[in-house]
């Protein structure tokens, strides 16, 4: 193993100390928990409650690639369009959550990818970017969903990406490369997680899988309900193990979903999938752990698509609302964690106008946009004319872009556009920058960033979250608050 990938010594405790501690009965003995042993003095009082073993239900919500500006803009859109704060910010306003920053450093970089980031929570190790619960030398770390399953809890994964994508896989699978999604689907089948909802038909269907296997048949033989549409999913009626795969690849961006009748009818929203997962697993009576991912916030950031970004963050916010409705009914027994795995492209609402009073009116234009930048680009290519480009943007947004700007996108589509920062050279990113002139949403680039991320939590164990948390501590927190024993590592 490389010198960094298993380095847990940075903040005064390491995993083996925890395991020793656990073996002595400390995990459940009401000592105030592991996290108190590494917390500084100011946090001690908040650790006085004994949360060990109290969390029968854990809901882990992750907006993938959510920079701080994304959180702010979704809140502003919620206030402007819906007349209420976002659920996430309302939890801050009402002082209902513990809140701090989290360091998402991975085994090889301060800039995380989603696989290593989710694995840091999923197995408590800082592994290399691109790996899923596996060290560079092939050492596998048992992820949190199998651990909870072995402890008799129900397990669930809900996402707007392919269900085999890096973030859900980080709680559940072991592969050396995140792209091994056929293998990840196979592991879901073998490990029998209870509720699996999202996109990714290409990794389950015999028409697309490299090995020609039809995993749906396998799941059905094991007694799963298999849903391929919103109607087939329905609403939960008691506990039922369920595989729901609604699209070939990722689910659509929320705004495109809403305004495309076929998609609106056949694909459930993140909030609907979350409700289904919670209702079904709650009905089992066994307790559960559920990861809910707003996965396409990240994709919108990569493509500098402010419209996709804000509306997908709002859809994620609706899922937070569902989770907190459940929390409000079971506050003593439910740990809710809300966070993101890394910043991405660091979008923000920027100043516009001499006294900045054009910023919000520009931002308000998003309220009448019908489709995302990704929708615009999906029909443009290197033979699109200037007028086609302008009309496609007009259809999606009602905005008539300048000829000179349309020309830049025209050139970018043909590989002839040069930006000073190469991360902003792809056609998608050129469109993103063009739209910034109209919406005042601007991006620093089109890739992940090293930002310390937002972390909020409520319920048993949340009081142990201080102002600054190391990513791997969440693994320990979830095990300890649920009273699930950590695996003892070999060596």
Q: Which residues contact 404 (CB under 8 A, 6 or more apart)?
A: none
**Binding to Zn ion, residues 121-150 (CB under 5 A):** none
Please identify, among the stretches 75-83, 284-292, 298-306, 435-443, the one whose residues bind Zn ion according to the rule CB under 5 A.
298-306
> How far is it, in rounded angstroms, from Cα 141 to Cα 154?
20
Residue carrying the six token digits 């569902």: 322
Q: How far is the CB of 65 from Zn ion (least distance, A)?
A: 5
For Zn ion, which is the closer residue by CB, 62 or 76?
62
**Among 455, 457, 456, which residue's Cα sits nearest to residue 481?**
457
Structure token pair of residue 290: 């559920």
CA torsion, ordered 466, 469, 474, 480, to nearest 10 deg = -40
Phi-psi label, residue 23: left if phi above 0, alpha if psi -120 to 50, beta otherwise = alpha
For Zn ion, which is the closer residue by CB, 65 or 156?
65
Q: How far is the CB of 166 from Zn ion (least distance, A)?
A: 8
Q: How far is the CB of 115 from Zn ion (least distance, A)?
A: 10
Please identify, among the stretches 4-12, 64-72, 285-293, 330-338, the one whose residues bind Zn ion according to the rule CB under 5 A.
64-72
What residues does 60 pair with on adjacent strands? Answer: 291, 337
For Zn ion, which is the closer residue by CB, 65 or 268?
65
Q: How far is the CB of 298 from Zn ion (least distance, A)?
A: 4
For Zn ion, which is the closer residue by CB, 98 or 184?
184
Q: How far is the CB of 302 from Zn ion (least distance, A)?
A: 6
**Binding to Zn ion, residues 217-246 (CB under 5 A):** none
Neighbours of 303 (CB within 10 A): 25
For Zn ion, which is the closer residue by CB, 113 or 473?
113
Please identify, among the stretches 93-101, 294-302, 383-391, 465-473, the one whose residues bind Zn ion according to the rule CB under 5 A.
294-302
> How far is it, in rounded angstroms, from Cα 43 to Cα 47?
7
For Zn ion, which is the closer residue by CB, 26 or 252?
252
Please identify, among the stretches 21-29, 174-182, 277-285, 291-299, the one whose residues bind Zn ion according to the rule CB under 5 A.
291-299
For Zn ion, which is the closer residue by CB, 397 or 446?
446
Question: Nearest-5° angle of CA 59, CA 64, CA 66?
Answer: 110
**Among 32, 2, 36, 1, which residue's Cα sits nearest to residue 473?**
36
Q: How far is the CB of 344 from Zn ion (least distance, A)?
A: 6
Q: How far is the CB of 199 from Zn ion (least distance, A)?
A: 16
- Using an 8 Å Cβ cutoff, are 31 and 51 in contact? no
- Using an 8 Å Cβ cutoff, are 129 and 259 in contact? no
With CB under 5 A as the rule, give the number of residues binding Zn ion. Answer: 2
For Zn ion, which is the closer residue by CB, 298 or 305?
298
Structure token pair of residue 64: 């993938």
For Zn ion, which is the closer residue by CB, 270 or 458?
270
Q: How far is the CB of 93 from Zn ion (least distance, A)?
A: 29
179 burial class (0-12, 13-18, 19+ CB within 10 angstroms)?
Answer: middle
Give one DSSP letter per residue of 301-369, joined into a string.
HHTT-HHHHHHHHHHHHHHHHHHHHHHHHSTTTEEEEEE-S-EES--EEPP-STTSTTHHHHHHGGGG-
Of 298, 305, 318, 454, the one binding Zn ion by CB under 5 A: 298
- Using an 8 Å Cβ cutoff, are 450 and 110 in contact? yes
- The residue number whose beta carbon is nearest to Zn ion equals 298
For Zn ion, which is the closer residue by CB, 130 or 483?
130
The 453-458 sheet, strands edge to edge: 225-227, 242-245, 195-199, 154-162, 288-294, 57-63, 334-339, 453-458, 98-103, 468-470
Distances (CA, A) of 109 to 15, 106, 329: 20, 5, 40
What character string, x for contact with Zn ion (CB under 5 A) and - otherwise, covers 76-115? ----------------------------------------
For Zn ion, which is the closer residue by CB, 345 or 393?
345
HSE, side-chain direction, 13 A CA sphere, residue 47: 19
Q: How far is the CB of 339 from Zn ion (least distance, A)?
A: 15
Please identify, among the stretches 61-69, 254-262, 387-395, 437-445, the one whose residues bind Zn ion according to the rule CB under 5 A.
61-69
Please identify, among the stretches 62-70, 137-145, 171-179, 245-253, the one whose residues bind Zn ion according to the rule CB under 5 A.
62-70
Residue 451 near Zn ion by CB under 5 A: no
Q: How far is the CB of 448 from Zn ion (least distance, A)?
A: 6
Please identify, among the stretches 59-67, 116-124, 136-144, 240-248, the one whose residues bind Zn ion according to the rule CB under 5 A.
59-67
What residues does 335 pair with on adjacent strands? Answer: 58
Q: What is the contact surface with Zn ion in residues (CB under 5 A)?
A: 65, 298
């Amino acid at each position: 193993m490389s010198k960094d990938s298993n380095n847990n010594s940075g903040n005064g405790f390491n995993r083996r100390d925890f395991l020793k501690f656990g073996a002595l009965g400390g995990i459940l003995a009401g000592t105030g928990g592991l996290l108190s042993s590494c917390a500084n003095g100011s946090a001690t009082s908040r650790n006085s409650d004994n949360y060990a073993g109290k969390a029968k239900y854990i809901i882990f919500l992750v907006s993938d690639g959510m920079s701080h500006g994304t959180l702010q803009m979704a809140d502003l859109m919620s206030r402007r369009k819906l007349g209420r704060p976002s659920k996430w910010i309302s939890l801050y306003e009402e002082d209902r959550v513990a809140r701090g920053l989290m360091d998402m450093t991975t085994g090889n970089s301060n800039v995380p990818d989603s696989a290593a980031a989710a694995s840091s929570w999923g197995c408590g190790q800082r592994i290399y970017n691109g790996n899923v619960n596996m060290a560079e030398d092939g050492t596998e770390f048992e992820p949190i969903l199998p651990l909870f399953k072995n402890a008799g809890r129900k397990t669930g994964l809900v996402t707007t990406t392919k269900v085999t994508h890096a973030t859900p896989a980080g709680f559940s699978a072991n592969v050396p490369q995140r792209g091994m999604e056929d293998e990840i689907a196979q592991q879901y089948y073998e490990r029998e997680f209870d509720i699996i909802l999202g996109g990714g038909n290409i990794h389950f269907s015999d028409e697309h899988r490299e090995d020609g296997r039809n995993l749906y048949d396998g799941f059905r033989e094991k007694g799963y309900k298999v849903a391929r549409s919103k109607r087939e999913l329905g609403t939960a009626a008691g506990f039922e193990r369920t595989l729901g795969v609604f699209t070939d690849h990722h689910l659509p961006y929320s705004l495109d979903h809403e305004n495309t009748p076929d998609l609106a009818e056949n694909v459930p929203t993140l909030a609907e999938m979350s409700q289904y997962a919670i209702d079904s697993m709650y009905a089992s009576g066994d307790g559960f752990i559920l990861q809910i991912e707003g996965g396409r916030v990240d994709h919108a950031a990569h493509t500098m698509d402010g419209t996709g970004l804000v509306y997908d963050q709002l859809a994620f916010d609706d899922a937070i609302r569902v989770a907190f409705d459940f929390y409000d009914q079971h506050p003593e027994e439910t740990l809710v964690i809300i966070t993101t795995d890394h910043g991405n492209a660091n979008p923000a609402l920027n100043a516009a106008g001499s006294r900045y009073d054009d910023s919000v009116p520009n931002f308000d234009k998003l309220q009448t946009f019908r489709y995302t930048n990704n929708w615009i680009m999906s029909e443009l290519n290197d033979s699109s004319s200037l007028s086609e480009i302008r009309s496609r943007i007009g259809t999606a947004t009602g905005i008539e872009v300048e000829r000179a700007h349309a020309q830049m996108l025209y050139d970018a589509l043909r590989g002839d556009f040069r930006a000073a920062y190469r991360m902003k050279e792809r056609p998608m990113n050129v469109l993103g920058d063009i739209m910034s002139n109209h919406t005042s949403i601007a991006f620093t680039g089109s890739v992940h960033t090293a930002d310390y991320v937002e972390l909020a939590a409520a319920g048993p164990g949340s009081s142990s979250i201080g102002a600054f948390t190391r990513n791997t501590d969440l693994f320990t927190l979830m095990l300890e608050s649920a009273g699930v024993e950590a695996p003892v590592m070999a060596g």
